[in-house]
Amino acid sequence: MSFYDRYLNTPGRKSRAALLLAILLVLGVNLIGELTMRIVRPSAPPPPPVVAKAPPAEVKPAPAPEPPVPPPPPAEVKPEPAPPPAPPPAPPKPAVTDTGRALPKAEPVKAPPPPPPPKAAPLPAPLSASAELAQRLKNGNAVNGAKLSPRCAACHGFDVGGRHRIGPNLYDIVGGAKASRQGFAYSAAMKGLGGQWDYDALDAYLASPANFAPGNKMAFPGVPDPAERADIILFLRNLSGAPKPLP
């Protein structure tokens, strides 16, 4: 029998051994738990170091501002003395001749009078027209005369400087001399008329060219309506840079 067996078989030894084992077991469990907690739980950070606060700096009062220095008084400006007045001009000496005699004073030159204003150009004398024709022209309509002008346009032109056709160009015909258009071959009957195309002559010619100038080349029979003749005359009057005055 070994010593351990003899020891355990000793009365009261088994209970003490069991108590000792229990104590060792409890201590081992506590030791293992403590080690486990230290491994799992992070170590607490060390406390921050205590920094000693410096005593507050002594605040010194700001020095009082110095009083402003007053500006120096302005320098006294003495006025310059005024220049002495200029002496009056000496009176002009009279001109003398070689003999020592004074010449007579020259008279002031007078400006010539302004020229008289130009006279307005006299208005052209009104063309001849009977009282009956003057009334028709007063009541006439140049616009309607323009509508009737195609009757004349087959043989005549109306534009300024236009060429002649079967008949002469009629621009500025009112008040012009009869049979006077340059470059047109008038008949002997028209050349022998003389005078100007006043309102009476135009009205009579438009009424019947054959009766007004027998033997002329005009094949147009005429305008029998007096009101239409007045409208055509007013249309011809407007074919001018300066239309002739109405009667």
Flag whether 192 is in a domain. yes
Flag whether 214 is in a domain. yes
CATH of the domain at 171: 1.10.760.10
Flag whether 80 is in a domain. no
Flag whether 161 is in a domain. yes
CA–CA gap between residue 212 and residue 76 (Å, rounded): 110
pTM over 0.85: no
Flag whether 116 is in a domain. no
Per-residue pLDDT of the chain (247 residues; tens, 9 = 90+): 555 556 556 556 667 777 888 888 888 888 887 777 777 655 555 566 655 565 566 666 666 667 676 676 666 767 677 777 777 777 666 555 556 565 566 666 677 777 777 766 555 556 767 899 999 999 999 999 999 999 888 899 988 988 999 999 999 999 999 999 999 999 999 999 999 999 999 999 999 999 999 999 888 899 999 999 999 999 999 999 999 999 8
Flag whether 182 is in a domain. yes
* pLDDT for the residue 156: 92
Instruction: Print the domain residue range for 139.
Output: 131-237
Flag whether 52 is in a domain. no
Domain count, the chain: 2
Flag whether 122 is in a domain. no
- Tell me which amino acid residue 242 is: A
